[in-house]
Amino acid sequence: MLARIAGSMVVSVVVLIAVSLLASIGVLWWTGSIITSAAIGTMGGLAAAFAVDALRTAAERAGERLSDKNDRSSSGGITDNGRPSRQDDVDPKGSQR
């Protein structure tokens, strides 16, 4: 859990720095104002870092939902001695094999 948090923090910081620098350089080249470029670069970097974090959170939640569905569907599928359950003997149309 700690490694996952640290990894997402590192990714967010890298995105923040990269987007801030690229936006600052672009605005500096376009306007020639250092203060404007620093402000816009910082805002763009923060927005990008928040967006990356939101996407990561959404992907984790979607993964949790998928694993929950798999856990529920496989909960009654295995019986003693590795034999298949009755559900495996039923045809999708409802007739027995």
Q: Which tokens hold the place of 34?
A: 């250092």
Model confidence at 94: pLDDT above 90: no
pLDDT tens-digit profile of 10-67? 888 899 999 999 999 999 999 999 999 999 999 999 999 999 988 888 888 887 777 6
| pLDDT for res 74 | 55
CB contact burial 50-66 (16+ within 10 A = b; e otherwise): eebeeeeeeeeeeeeee
Q: Are 53 and 4 in contact (CB under 8 A)?
A: no
Choose between 31 and 4: higher pLDDT. Answer: 31
Model confidence at 97: pLDDT above 60: no
Q: Are 19 and 45 in contact (CB under 8 A)?
A: yes
| pLDDT for res 64 | 75
Q: Which tokens hold the place of 81?
A: 């001695």
pLDDT tens-digit profile of 58-93? 888 887 777 666 655 555 555 455 555 555 555 666
| pLDDT for res 46 | 92
| pLDDT for res 39 | 93
